[in-house]
Amino acid sequence: MAKLVYSTIASLDGFVADAAGDFDWAAPDEEVHGFVNDMERSAGTYLYGRRLYEVMVAWETMPVADEPPVIGDFAQIWRAAEKIVYSRTLEAVSSTRTRIERDFDPEAVRSMKASAASDITVGGPELAAQAIAAGLVDEINLFLVPVLVGGGKRALPAGVRVNLELIDERRFRGGAVYLHYRVCG
């Protein structure tokens, strides 16, 4: 059975975007980006909300020839994965290997996990919150960056209690910290 994994980069005070919706402070350096690439290689499918898909779809056509190798590597990983976008408003997708689902159906995701040959990631805090609340998320990867933004879009849902077991951690030269948790059932 595949795992459903939620990975996110957040401020130390727990936000993926500040009150103005900005997240430029979250851009990973090459060391973190390379680490993320290695994690993402095991994912065969990305589950996205509309907003995150609209940010990530740039990887479909991004010119990478003059970029650092980690950028080209991630572009290849992203392009090779299946993508499911959960949106009631998005009319069409602009990337290959992508389809739209109008509603998040926990049972459909459970079936997907049971039949998938490789792991599935859930991206975007709102979609991840639904998956966490439904008991679907198996692991959480947090990349905490050394900044306090004071408010904005929360990385983790409020009002949901989930017990976690820390199974890995890493400190990066630029000050980011990686925390890898398994959901305890």
Q: How far is 152 from 25, CA to CA, in rounded Å? A: 13
The number of helix segments (H) and strand segments (E) in the chain equals 6, 10
Whether 76 has a pLDDT exceeding 80, the answer reads: yes
Give pLDDT tens digits for 154-184: 999 999 999 999 999 999 999 999 999 999 9
Q: How far is 148 from 146, CA to CA, in rounded Å? A: 7
Give pLDDT tens digits for 77-86: 999 999 999 9
Give residue 10's domain range: 4-183
Under the banding of pLDDT at 50, 70 and 90, the label for residue 185 is confident
State the total domains in the chain.
1
Give pLDDT tens digits for 89-145: 999 999 999 999 999 999 999 999 999 999 999 999 999 999 999 999 999 999 999
Average pLDDT over residues 19-25: 97
CATH number for the domain that contains residue 167: 3.40.430.10
Query: What is the strand order of the sheet 43-49 is part of?
Result: 98-101, 82-86, 43-49, 119-123, 4-11, 139-145, 177-183, 164-171
